[in-house]
Amino acid sequence: MRRILSLTTATLAGLLLTIASFGYRPLMADETNLEASDAALPATTMTAKAMFAGGCFWSVESDMEKVSGVLDVITGYAGGQSNNPTYQTYAFGGHREVILITYDPQKITYAGLIEHLIKHIDPTDAQGSFLDRGVQYSPAIFVQTDREKQTAEAVLSQISEMKVYENPLAVAILPPAYFWPAEAYHQDYAAHHPASYKSYRFRSGRDSFIRKHWGKKADELQLADIVPATSSEELSTNESTSVAASQAPEKPWESFEKPDPKELRAKLTRMQYAVTQSYKTEPEFRNAYWDNHEEGIYVDIVSGEPLFSSTDKFDSGTGWPSFTKPLEPEHFVSHVDYDKGYPRLALRSKYGECHLGHVFNDGPVATGGMRFCMNSAALKFIPKDELEEAGYGEYLKLFAPMPTNAK
């Protein structure tokens, strides 16, 4: 894919050290809740994820963001053998450009997502996508369950029967794969660089291809209600799972209501308020947890939702508490900020709505290469010995001693 960017060497180097991700680390699809979307899911508490490839991820991201029910789209790389791929190396490692979608299953089905995807790519080209050549740009659907696979097959079969395309469909249906988020400057590229994106899109021929084959029906969903045949055994399992989920006790932070600014100012220190509510950064090496080595977990200072574990903490040398991965990935919301003049991935807590820090891809390679650089002022540390009393007893298992084989 040609990148129309005007960057100094220093700026480019900075960009290559930043990432943007919902998953925040290399994730397997099953770790990111890629579940079949036909099950009845409570609208207020559950979302689902889907991972697709369809050529230039700028374009696929932009097209999928327009779908009602899609909550978030992240660009990245998946399907290869190499670790920690970058834009310069992902193709050599066998990866495709992909997007990771978070969506509301009550507003858009998995089948609907696939239909929209197929109508906005060239699903007949296994060797590239429009101007972009190479298998790294070829179309693919990464399925997480047998049900998703059956749904994908059913949608592709129906589209084939419509005989819209001159050539047969060549969309690969692939098993789950690690999702590696792309660099921050690739996220929402169409929105941040509209002129260069529109120029690329026009020259690529993507829009003319879509108009030729679908016309006004490109944005109409005809197959969203496709439901693959389900065995009685699978149905029973799904029903049991749904019942168990509905009976699961609500966590305190899930019903948390954020206080008004006046009340928050009274509860927080000046630094805590500045960091969490005004997106400030505390001083390095002069904060509560940068050198904390005690066992326990770190929770949101406002809502109490669990965020990180000491088992994933490491000394990054930066002077801020740093972690290789989150304790509960679904407790984070990301966005790209430009406070330093270049894009960085900022994180805030889902329930507390507090700014936490930023994520970079210069962490330990052995653990995935991610560095979650957090502000101590946004966190509250719960020592291991106080977890049960504080209502976090379920996390004691993180610190259980490894069993030894008796001789």
Q: Known catalytic residues? A: 56
Query: Please, are residues 117 and 111 in contact by the beta-carbon 8 Å criterion?
Result: no
Q: How would you list the strands of the sheet with 140-142, edge to edge?
A: 172-174, 140-142, 48-53, 96-103, 70-78, 179-181
Separation in Å, CA 339 to CA 266, 343, 401: 27, 8, 43
- Site of tokens 């098993």: 175
Backbone angles phi, psi at 16, to 5 degrees: -70, -15
Nearest to 169 by CA among 110, 118, 221: 118
403, exposed or middle or buried, with CB in 10 Å at 0-12, 13-18, 19+? exposed
Those residues with Cβ within 8 angstroms of residue 56's Cβ, 6 or more apart along the chain or in another chain: 1, 97, 129, 130, 132, 137, 200, 204, 206
Q: What is the DSSP letter of 399?
A: G
- Site of tokens 């003319």: 208
